[in-house]
Amino acid sequence: MMSWPFRIIGFLFWYAKEFITSNVTVTAEVLRPRRRAKMRPAIVAVPAASRSDSEWTMISSLITLTPGTLTITISKEHKILYVHGMFVENRGQLVAEIQEMEDRMLRAMRRAPGDLTRPTELPVVRPMDEAGESR
Amino acid sequence: MTLADIADILGLVFIFLGIATIIISAIGLFKLPDLYLRASAVGTSAGLGVASIVLGALLMDFSGLNLVKAIIAIIAQLLTSAVGSMAIARAGYLNNALPAPITHIDELALTRREVSGGR
């Protein structure tokens, strides 16, 4: 395992690469004629390993910053990120992509990576009755 | 060719790349079917488009102070554009801007209450 400052630099380079490739794919998709479109949008609940507020803010901003993926909302109590993806073949693919980014980010943000476990089962989320906070 | 000439040409290239990105994302605004896909398309102009224009301007007029200004400008632009698109997407979802039918999975729909007619 690399030491902390190197993990930060490594993450920045990895993220820059992801940022540029996703920009290129989204730009190519816009330019592609409609009948050959590869777009497969989906909104997926991704279990997350973030704990502190700053980690939640960072991961959701980083997801939104790469074009093609967009955080719509988070549920801290269920530890879930609701992510809209532009090219999603199946649920697992987007979940794996987001979780890889989160793993790398947490290893860069935390001095010691600590616990990276995620809830394995999706919780049953019910809508709140009246205009509650997690609406 | 001096170093300044090369930096000038590189700067122009970056500025034109940025302009092209912004124009293409504007086409995406018209072409894509729903709010969330459009927000993704605009993300390319707000992120890469603006960043590469700032980088190009920096290369054409390089100095230590400008370097600091450019770094601050790019970081602030990236952060605010990310927060802005999340706020727009969330507001859209809460106001019943449903994703286009092409969206094949929608797990956020499980958290919605039944929508009763146009609200």
Q: What is the mean pLDDT of residues B82-110?
A: 83
Tell me, what's the pLDDT at A128? 58
The partner residue sitting opposite B89, judged by closest CB among A26, A70, A125, is A70
Q: Using DSSP, state whether A16 is helix, strand or coil.
A: helix
Binned at pLDDT 50, 70 and 90, residue B100 comes out as confident
Q: Which residues of A touch B31 (CB under 8 A)?
A: 30, 34
- Look at residue B118 in the predicted model and tell me its pLDDT: 42
Q: How far apart are CA B90 and CA B86, in angstroms?
A: 6
Tell whether B101 is within 8 A of chain A (Cβ). no
Q: Which of B102, B44, B32 is nearest to A88 (CA)?
A: B102
Please give the span between the terminal C-alpha atoms of chain A, in angstroms, as a whole number: 41
What would the mean pLDDT of A55-75 be, rounded to a whole number?
Answer: 90
pLDDT exceeds cutoff 80 at A48: yes
| CA–CA separation, A20 and B107 (whole Å) | 28
Give the mean pLDDT of A7-31. Answer: 90
Domain ranges within chain B, ordered by starting residue: 3-111
- CA triple B78-B95-B34, angle to 5 deg: 60
Helix axes B3-31, B50-60, angle to 10 degrees: 160
pLDDT for B107 equals: 77
Query: Is B111 in contact with A127 (Cβ distance < 8 A)?
Result: yes
pLDDT at residue A131 is higher than 80: no
Question: In the structure, what pLDDT confidence band is assigned to residue B59 with cuts at 50, 70 and 90?
Answer: very high
Tell me what pLDDT residue B68 has.
95
Residue of chain B with shortest Cα separation from A31: B24
CB contact under 8 A, B78 and A126: no
Chains A, B: CB contacts under 8 A, how many?
A: 120
How many angstroms separate the CA atoms of A39 and B113, rounded? 28
